[in-house]
Amino acid sequence: METKTRLALAAAVVAALTAAAPAHATLTVSGSVGGAPSGVILDNLNWLATGSAGGLSPQSGITVNFSGNAKAVTGAVGGQYAAPYLSGGNGTGFGSPNQPNGVDTTVYATSGSTGASSSAAVEILLPSNGGAGYQYFGLLWGSVDGYNTLSFYDGANLVGSLTGGNVLAAPNGDQGVNGTLYVNIFSSLAFDRVVATSSQYAFEFDNLAFDRTEVPEPGTLALLGLGLAGLGLRRRRKS
């Protein structure tokens, strides 16, 4: 029954967003049962040493840079960060064996807070693609909050951005199954850099995916926010 409930809750919301930057890309956002689409490049971030060192991934070729109080972590620290929560098998492909449902016990990234450290950010540089860039990006977005922001760049130019409010209708930092989604983002324009920031503690994420061109969205899609009330699942804020 619990598994069926989680599968029913893991769903998708689609929103067309227009970037404020000159590029005016359309970003289509979906959170799904199936996690990342098949055939894309995956990176589980487990190669990162905990702390703010960052580095070049031997898995996928991405470079992760931390600034301010952003860093790679495990576990949770009250009021600062909490591990994402996997459900519906959306850890498939991110480890051997696949990452199981439940609290993420592996290394993940936290953005820190620009309120506490003005430069706080996690920067993800995607590997060179002959100048063509990428049009798909996915991540396990933990305890989604409205003050979390994900921005996409082509070089120095902002392609588009989205917040936790584009992922959930009422993002409130839920640290349980209702608050974490595998979020797939499809862009009408190419990008080569992704930056995660948060005005408050914190934007936590794991299990990145990306691809050079737009890829088909995962097949099982449903609207988020339906039937969530009264289920009695864990509901704790970070602060």
Which stretches of the chain drop beneath a pLDDT of 70? 1-23, 31-34, 214-239
Task: Give CA–CA dist 211/114, Å, rounded.
Answer: 29
The pLDDT assigned to 31 comes to 66
The domain limits of the chain are 2-211
Query: What pLDDT does 139 receive?
Result: 97
Q: What integer pLDDT is reported at residue 17 of this predicted model? A: 39
Interval 4-21: pLDDT, tens = 333 333 333 333 333 333
Look up residue 112 and give its DSSP letter: -
pLDDT computed for residue 232 by the predictor: 32
- 35: Cβ contacts below 8 Å, ≥ 6 apart: 88, 89, 90, 91, 92, 93, 94, 138, 140, 182, 207, 218
Give the fold, CATH level 3, of 2-211. Jelly Rolls (2.60.120)
Phi, psi of 26 (to 5 degrees): -100, 125
What distance in Å separates the CA atoms of residue 121 and residue 110, rounded to the nearest whole number? 8
CA–CA gap between residue 88 and residue 32 (Å, rounded): 9
Whole-model pTM? 0.82
If DSSP states are collapsed to H, E and C, what string results for 140-169? EEECCECCEEEEEEECCEEEEEEEHHHCCC
